[in-house]
Amino acid sequence: MNETIGIILIGIGLTFDFFGCLGLVRLPDVYNRLQASTKCVTLGTCSILFGVFLMLGPTAAGIKSLLCIIFLVLTAPVSAHAIARGAHRSGVKLWKGSVVDRYAEDKEGGL
């Protein structure tokens, strides 16, 4: 039973991973790519790790995969945030179809 649920979770995770990387190729600009890839790949890899935990049970490797989930959920959004801020400060423009950019307006007003 646990093995079946684990295999299903691993399959869901692989699907999310693959579509996240497809978004990395298809979307037009750094920020959109960051959105798609960070969300999909983080949830997909967490799903794979939880499936591995269900298949292995509470052994050493299973508990370590649970810890790895905690580390990933805490660190992946922070690195996405850092890359987005660095890209905006280094002068990468938004995609030409973008609607509004309050950050650039406020930075020009403030500085």
Residue of the chain from 1, 100, 109, 111 that contacts other proteins (CB under 8 A): 100
Determine, following the binding rule CB under 8 A, whether residue 97 of this chain makes contact with other proteins. yes
Q: In whole angstroms, how far apart are CA 111 and each of 83, 87, 94?
A: 22, 18, 20
The two tokens of residue 33 are 């790519």
Name the minimum Å distance from CB 85 to other proteins.
5
Q: Which residue has the tokens 């973008």?
A: 98
CB of 68 to other proteins, least distance (A): 5
C-alpha–C-alpha distance, residues 32 and 38, integer Å: 10
Among 102, 108, 109, 111, binds other proteins (CB under 8 A): 102
2 lines the binding site for other proteins (CB under 8 A): no
